[in-house]
Homo-oligomer: A and B are copies of this chain.
Amino acid sequence: MRRRVLDVAEESFQARGYHASSLGDLMAAAGVTGGALHHHFPTKKALALAVIDERVAAAVQQTWIEPVRAAPSAREGVRTVFEAVAAELEQQGYVRGCPLNNLAHELSLADADFRVALADIFAGWRQAIADKVRSDQASGGEGGTDPDRFAALTVAAYSGAMSMAKTSQNAGVLRECLAGLDRVQPPPSQNGLAAKRRRRVLRRQTIR
């Protein structure tokens, strides 16, 4: 029952936002009475914090951190995620935006607890990418790229692209930004070996 509430809240916060999601709507959608909801989440804020900690963080983990860690390189991981998300959005026909970004905009100025919870997720996201770049560099790839800089730009470009995609209801801007991002201080071509591998990985991932 707690899970049912979290499911509905996650979905509604994503689609309508925090303030526009009334507890009455959530109760109706989840088939839960006021007493049950109040038992698990004393306040609306507690519910939102649970959604952030248990769902939004997990979504970032699953969508970004794990694929990047599993990728052969940071750059290829970033490319994979951008294209997977763009493909998913184009398939479902509408764009609801990045859950983290959506809540961050609405809540980070409203309440300090919200803000730090969301900032932690952003920090973990960036660090995962930066760590991957460092790992690439330790194994000889990815020349002089500054890991933290690359991570910040990647996360910013993704977040901003999702903002525009949500506003224009068109995921195309994600692909444009990825193309631009790919031209950030590209590492030396290494006799075309890296390029060949990248193509192979891509073909596998986009089937998904």
Contact = CB atoms under 8 A, between A and B. Distances in A.
Interface of A: 15-17, 19-20, 96-97, 101-102, 104-106, 108-110, 115, 118-119, 122-123, 146, 148-150, 152-153, 155-161, 163-164, 166-169, 173, 176-177, 179-181, 183-185
Given A149-B179, A152-B176, A160-B161, 7 more contacts: A16-B109, A19-B20, A104-B167, A108-B167, A122-B164, A153-B180, A156-B160
B164 A177 contact: no
A20 B110 contact: yes
A119 B96 CA distance: 14
Contact of A176 (B123, B153, B181, B183): B153
B97 A105 contact: yes
A105 B163 contact: yes
B149 A176 contact: yes
A115 B149 CA distance: 32
Contacts of A123: 168
A178 to B, nearest CB: 9
Nearest to A96: B109
A177 B156 contact: yes
A96 B106 CA distance: 11
B168 A122 contact: yes
A156 B149 contact: no
Contacts of A20: 19, 110
Counting chain B CB atoms within 10 Å of each CB, the highest count among A110, A118, A152, A161 belongs to A152
A159 B163 contact: yes
Contact of A105 (B102, B119, B173): B102
Contacts of A185: 183-184
Contact of A146 (B155, B168, B179): B179
Nearest to A154: B180
Nearest to A125: B164
